[in-house]
């Protein structure tokens, strides 16, 4: 049968003595023991005429030195046992080293003990010192009896108070260190989140700026390779060159923005809704070979001003929607509509939607829809996309984003 494990109290007490003493505690114990032995050999005692003379003074000394080994690992046990040892020392010739080591045990019990013990020991020793002074004064009826209370306070209350002060300073230093570590951790988390957010923003900008041009290049290069018509090939190459030049310019603008923002220069101007006419014209040129036409329905009131982040988000959503139409829309008209209600800007792009599309197509990754949704959410708005029935019974693909605007910034 397997033996039962000892109870938690007994087991914890055994473990206290299995721990290796701290190096400083070993030094204190050895120095205290050797000093006490030297004092006994030289005949240095604190009192005389007690029932146990001779070498009996060494017994409390040895016990106190042994307790110094566990002053840090078992402070409560060391203090309780040391109290009995100091009482026993009063029945011998007495050793000042024994008394000094007892004061160290009181100090260690407050410094290394539990928080409750650290609060109770100074109060208990203070009350004990007062009680001893009053008791001996009532017994001896001499003012000199107060010195006994003072000596008791020096041996017990003074080291307990010192331990409490040191512990408070230590706890304050540990709390300050912990707060500093937490602050550094929060700063690192904020830095990481800022880097992630900046990378996401750069990814959206890069995708929205370049995807439109690369999609047109992919579609027209496929047409040039598949059709053996010089006129068609020349037209496709013209569109390819135009989009290559425009895409290169957009890339240079983004690279310049990244470089110059770190050098303290003013960043390049971000696109605004004023450039939608040019964007629609470019899409009309790119989609002509696929039977696509593009139209802009701008229902915003005259003189309405929008915050720069809202204008940029709306422009990029329209741009990405036109790019997706170039990739996937069936022949027909793609319409981009803007409406300004005073509290929000509504962007709506509809395009013909069919299962099959004639002519070349460009591959898609789905990152465009993710980027558009992120732009709307970052401004506290909403985004939705998907197929739905059109007015004439055909299917259309609808993209709708609502971007909130502060009322104070909605009008000039």
Per-residue pLDDT band for 17 (boundaries 50, 70, 90) equals low
Q: How far apart are CA 67 and CA 28, in angstroms?
A: 10
- Which range among 12-26, 107-121, 393-407 has the greatest average pLDDT? 107-121
Q: How far apart are CA 31 and CA 27, in angstroms?
A: 6
Nearest to 70 by CA among 56, 80, 57, 58: 80
Judged against a pLDDT cut of 70, whether residue 222 lies above it is answered with: no
Predicted local distance difference test score (pLDDT) of residue 14 = 45
What integer best gives the mean pLDDT of the chain? 79
The distance of Cα 89 from the centroid of its chain, to the nearest Å, equals 57
Q: How far apart are CA 167 and CA 116, in angstroms?
A: 13
Judged against a pLDDT cut of 90, whether residue 22 lies above it is answered with: no
- This prediction has a pTM of 0.50
Predicted local distance difference test score (pLDDT) of residue 70 = 92
Phi then psi for 366, rounded to 5 degrees? 85, -5
Phi then psi for 195, rounded to 5 degrees? -65, -45
* 378-379-382-383 Cα dihedral, nearest 10 degrees: -60
- Between 69-83, 99-113, 210-224, the lowest mean confidence (pLDDT) is in 210-224
Predicted local distance difference test score (pLDDT) of residue 323 = 81
Q: How far apart are CA 295 and CA 348, in angstroms?
A: 12
How far is the CA of 377 from the CAs of 331, 343, 401, 402, in angstroms?
31, 16, 10, 10
Alpha helices in 141-157 (DSSP H): 145-152
Determine the average pLDDT of the residues in 193-210: 72
Judged against a pLDDT cut of 70, whether residue 213 lies above it is answered with: no
322-364 per-position pLDDT tens digit: 888 887 888 888 999 999 877 889 999 998 886 555 554 555 5
8 A C-beta contact, residue 158 and residue 125:
no
User: Structural domains in the chain?
Assistant: 8-185 (no CATH), 272-412 (3.30.565.10)
40-85 per-position pLDDT tens digit: 888 887 776 667 777 888 899 999 999 999 999 999 999 999 999 9
Nearest to 101 by CA among 151, 155, 46: 155
Instruction: Return the residue matching tokens 């910034």.
Output: 409
How many angstroms separate the first and last alpha carbons of the chain? 90
How far is the CA of 137 from the CAs of 132, 143, 152, 249, in angstroms?
8, 7, 14, 99
Return the higher-pLDDT residue of 189 and 264: 189
**397 pairs with which residues across the strands?**
351, 387
Predicted local distance difference test score (pLDDT) of residue 104 = 93
Predicted local distance difference test score (pLDDT) of residue 371 = 80
Predicted local distance difference test score (pLDDT) of residue 357 = 53
DSSP code per residue over 370-409: HHHHHHHHHTT-EEEEEEEE-TTSSEEEEEEEEEE--GGG
Predicted local distance difference test score (pLDDT) of residue 409 = 41
Could you tell me if residue 141 is left (phi over 0), alpha (psi between -120 and 50 degrees) or otherwise beta?
left
């Amino acid at each position: 049968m397997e033996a039962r494990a000892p109870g938690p109290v007994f087991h914890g007490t055994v473990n206290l003595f299995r721990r290796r003493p701290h190096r400083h505690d070993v030094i204190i114990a050895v120095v205290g023991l050797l000093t006490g032995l030297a004092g006994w050999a030289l005949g240095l005692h604190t009192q005389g005429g007690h029932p146990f003379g001779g070498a009996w003074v060494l017994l409390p000394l040895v016990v106190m030195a042994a307790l110094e080994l566990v002053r840090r690992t078992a402070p409560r046990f060391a203090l309780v046992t040391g109290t009995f040892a100091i009482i026993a020392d009063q029945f011998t010739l007495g050793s000042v080293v024994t008394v000094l080591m007892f004061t160290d045990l009181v100090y260690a019990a407050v410094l290394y003990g539990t928080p409750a013990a650290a609060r109770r020991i100074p109060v208990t020793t203070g009350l004990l010192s007062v009680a001893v002074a009053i008791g001996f004064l009532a017994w001896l009826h001499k003012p000199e009896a107060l010195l006994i209370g003072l000596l008791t306070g020096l041996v017990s209350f003074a080291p307990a108070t010192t331990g409490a002060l040191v512990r408070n300073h230590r706890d304050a230093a540990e709390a300050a260190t912990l707060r500093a570590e937490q602050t550094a951790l929060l700063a690192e988390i904020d830095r990481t989140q800022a880097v992630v957010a900046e990378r996401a923003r750069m990814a959206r900008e890069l995708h929205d700026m370049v995807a439109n041009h690369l999609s047109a290049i992919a579609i027209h290069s496929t047409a040039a390779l598949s059709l053996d018509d010089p006129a068609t090939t020349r037209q496709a190459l013209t569109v390819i060159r135009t989009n290559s030049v425009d895409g290169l310019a957009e890339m240079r603008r983004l690279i310049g923005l990244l470089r110059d923002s770190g050098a303290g220069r003013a960043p390049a101007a971000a696109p605004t809704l004023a450039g939608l006419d040019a964007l629609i014209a470019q899409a009309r040129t790119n989609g002509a070979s696929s039977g696509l036409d593009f139209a802009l329905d701008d229902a915003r009131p005259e003189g309405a001003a929008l915050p720069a982040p809202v204008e940029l988000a709306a422009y990029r959503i329209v741009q990405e929607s036109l790019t997706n139409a170039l990739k996937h829309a069936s022949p027909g008209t793609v319409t981009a509509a803007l409406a300004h209600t005073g509290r929000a800007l509504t962007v709506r792009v509809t395009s013909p939607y069919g299962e099959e599309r004639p002519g070349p197509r460009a591959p898609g990754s789905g990152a465009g829809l993710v980027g558009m949704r992120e732009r709307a959410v970052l401004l506290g708005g909403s985004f939705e996309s998907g197929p739905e029935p059109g007015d004439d019974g055909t299917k259309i693909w609808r993209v709708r984003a609502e971007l909130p605007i502060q009322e104070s910034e909605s009008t000039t």
